[in-house]
Amino acid sequence: MSETPSAAPTTTNVDMTGWTTAQRESHWYTKVYQGDTVRQLSLRAVLMGGVIGMLMSVAGLYTTLKIGWAFGVAITACVISYVIWNVFRTASGNRLSQMTILENNCMASTASAAGYSTGATIATAFGALLLLAPGEDSTQIRTWALQPIWIVAAFTLFTGALGVFLAIPMKRQMINQEQLPFPSGIACATTLQSLYSEGREAVLKAYSLVIALICGAIIGFLNTGEGGLKFVDKFFEHVRIRLPEFIPFSSSLAGYRAGNPAGFGFEPSGLLIAAGMIVGMRVSLSMLIGSCILYFGFGPYLSGLDQATAGSGWVTGADGALTFQAAQHSKDIILNIPVAGAGTLRLNQWSLWGGTAVMVFASLASLALQWKTVLRSFGVGKKAASVNDEHSLSPEAEAVARRIEVPNTWFIAGMIPISIGVLIVNWYAFHMNIFLGIIALGMSFVLSMVACRATGETDTNPIGAMGKVMQLLFAVLPGAKGNTTINLMSASTAANSASSSADLLTDLKSGYILGANPRQQFIAQFAGIFFGTIAIVPAWYLLVPTKAALEAFNPPATNMWKAVAEVLASEKGIHSLPDSAKMAIVIGALVGILLPTLEKLFPKARPYLPSAMGLGLAWVVSFSNSFSFFLGAAIALLWAKAHFKSQDKYCIPIASGLVAGESLIKAILAMLATASGLMHWGL
């Protein structure tokens, strides 16, 4: 077996215009496939991918808690693996052979499964369950008491594996025959080919990511708050270089007669700024505009209405100053803007409803507008592709296909125990009866197909929309109506499996371009599910030991899942909201439907229309987050204007490194703080 690490041929080397499906497949099996001559599935590749994926899963969990989403890890894992393995080779005096391009691709599959497709909704669904737990003292509500570790581990493992196996019947149709683009898969393959070209540019790109990762870790350490770890506090006593968690623009905002709005300022976070560099100006500017509308428009107006209402708790003192006194707050008065402490305005607790409505209805509207994509998921509206449409595969190609493609017998053998496992966990842990559990499984398959096709065509995996479809369905089913737990966990089942299946097909697209063995890549991806579960489950309990710890994150995505579950599953949920919040839901829904519709009708105007997701997210996160996103997008834009070539090459690697570095160090410090508190290490 050759150890040649050179870049593989790709299907783009040949003009296939006018070729039949069978001709394209035959060409790939006989001319592009090189999995028999280049080493691919190896122990070192799986172990390297597993370790990197475990670290990235912890980072992804932190970013989900912090800003509401996790970033893909395949490209980052490829670059990190390439650098680390070269360091190992140098340290061994080159006695270790270089990892081949297909080994690195296999490693990326393991890392991606571990770091992205496991636990996609631990922070959201399980987090929402934790936030819904009754009790006045949230510091005493222990995560492990409400959610035993074996339940979280079993649910994470089974739903992740469910998605991997659900992708089996979709792979050959969507990748081999229809050749959907899966842009992230193409980007990962292109990155690997660039790295293995052994050019100076590839080396610089790899090391720029690593340097940025180190810088991100330093920034994350320097803006660590006090009171977590004793050795960190002692370090800052001697080294007085600290980035405050919050650098306020001013002590108060014009327009607020009393009270300080929480979240106004600038947070010196490399993670948030780098996230803006990745998502771009359209989304980031939409977030800033949305935050300005909230903090300078609706916020002052609604807080002024509260302060003018008798019994609201706002009291005018002898000096004419307004202060909030909780004892003076009548229970009959529902505040528009909730207040904490002596007068801290919690704008996001009101705006959450409008922001959530924008994002939910925008996701559903986008899904509805892609009705052709949905129909094609089921082979409706087109002639189903088949290798026998015009020509059969050549005998040589047919033999290769039977040997390297994942057989349907694997699908059946895997789905039976996995389905039983999902049914048992949902029944025992969440009291979801077998009938509802079977519906959840069936809908997971349907929604996974839609998510895979949407990812293949647009590079956007609508995990949120998949979850909301399930929440809407289970809000009306007998036995589930009015039950927030079943509502959340049915949605989590579908969202986890959709995330995992789309992630596998994205990785298989990379392998298809590079000529990899899909059966071996499937095994690597399946192995990654175990690595990811081992890492992310204990990380969840260490990052979020109590309900209070989760509330301290003010997690936007978790709050959104909780809010939707309350409205859909609880008959009294919406009646506890102020009238202004109900109006915000209606307006948010209309905005969420309008913007995707305008994008569909006027595609050329899309760059000039605000992003629905950006506007919605702006009302879920704080102003400081939106401002940091905008700052990152502005840096990327100005960099491109000044020197496009370098920005095009290094912007994403640098931004990815900053995200990975800060999220990793923050997660590690938080977990160490929890562990030291539990074990009384006295660190």
- Contacts of residue 385, defined as CB under 8 A and 6 or more positions apart, other chains included, come to 21, 173, 177, 178
Strands 260-261 and 312-316: unpaired
Q: If you average pLDDT over residues 460-467, what whole number do you get? A: 64
Q: What is the pTM of this model?
A: 0.72
pLDDT for the residue 461? 65
658 touches 652 (CB < 8 A): no
| Measured distance CA(599)–CA(534) in Å, rounded | 42
Q: Are 264 and 253 in contact (CB under 8 A)?
A: yes
Out of 1-5, 62-66, 522-526, 545-549, pick the least confident: 1-5
CA distances, 154 to each of 53, 159, 190, 585 (Å)? 19, 8, 36, 36
Report whether pLDDT(351) > 70.
Answer: yes
Distance CA 550, CA 138 (A): 9
User: Which pLDDT band, with edges at 50, 70 and 90, does 139 fall under?
Assistant: confident
For residue 611, what are its two tokens? 């992003």
pLDDT at 598: 92
Determine the average pLDDT of the residues in 642-655: 87
Q: Which of 534, 392, 404 is nearest to 35 (CA)?
A: 404
Q: Where are the alpha helices (DSSP H) in 95-148?
A: 101-115, 127-131, 143-146
Alpha helix ranges (H) inside 431-483: 434-458, 463-474
Residues 6+ apart with CB under 8 A from 559: 131, 348, 352, 356, 620
Distance CA 58, CA 64 (A): 10
The number of residues making up the chain comes to 683
Query: What is the Cα–Cα distance from 377 to 153, expressed in whole angstroms?
Result: 31
436 contact partners, CB below 8 Å, separation of at least 6: 426, 474, 477, 479, 480, 486, 490
CA distance 95 to 33: 29
Rounded Cα–Cα distance for residues 499 and 70 (Å):
11
Whole-number Å distance between alpha carbons of 177 and 402: 16
Give the residue with greater pLDDT, 539 vs 677.
539
Higher pLDDT pick, 422 / 116: 422
Lowest pLDDT segment from 375-384, 519-528, 565-574: 375-384
Place of tokens 């160490």: 672
- Closest of 490, 547, 427 to residue 121, by C-alpha: 490
> Which band of pLDDT confidence, cut at 50, 70 and 90, is reported for residue 530?
very high
Element (H, E) at 60: helix 43-67
d(CA 499, CA 454): 12
Return all residues near 595 (Cβ < 8 A) that are at least 6 apart. 362, 609, 610, 611, 612, 615
